[in-house]
Every structure is written in structure tokens, then in C-alpha cells.
Amino acid sequence: MCNAVPRNYDASLHPLEAPREYVRALNSVKLERVFAKPFLGSLDGHKDGISCLGKHPLHLSIMLSGACDGEVNMSVECDGNVVCVFNCKISDRLM
């Protein structure tokens, strides 16, 4: 069995408690902001990791993505879904 050790809450014995709690609260707020961002969609169709992204200058719903295996996909966002409409292999090297 484990015997509980009484905790001493005297502020003079713990001078760094307030800065430590401030850092913890700040990190918590940062994490909430990171996870509060909406997920827009995933770029399906690549077999390898995506190394570059590009957007159409006039139509914001059209996007090009290049993968590490030399594939280029053109994706179109419609009704909240990202659909790959064109796929071609350009090279055998990293894009």
C-alpha cells in the first residue's frame, strides 16, 4: 500500500508555482486554438506524400498537388468535398 504524503500549500515554499500555472494555462489555450481550426478536406488520390500545392489564380476551388512519387493531381472542391478530377505521372523523381 502507498501512504499519501501530505502536501504543503505554503506559497513561500513554492515560489515558481504561479509562473508554472501561467505557462500551463497558456499552452492549454494554444492547443485549443490548434484543434479548433476546421478541417477543410483531404487530398485523396496520392500514393506518396504531398510535396507541393498550388491554386488556380482565378478559381479558388481548383487546386494542384504534387506528390513525392512524381504524380500531379488536379482537385476541385464542390459542396464541401474535394474530388480529384485529373491525375498524371510527370516524372519518377521528387516534385
Domain boundaries, the chain: 50-89
pTM of the model: 0.51
> Nearest 5°: phi and psi at 33?
-65, -40
Q: What is the pLDDT of residues 10-67, one digit of tens each?
A: 778 777 888 888 999 999 888 888 787 676 667 777 888 888 899 989 988 888 888 8
Q: What DSSP assignment string belongs to the chain?
A: -PPPPPP---TTT-TTHHHHHHHHHHHHHHHHHHHHSPP----TT-SS-EEEEEE-SS-TTEEEEEETTSEEEEEEEETTEEEEEEEEE--SS--
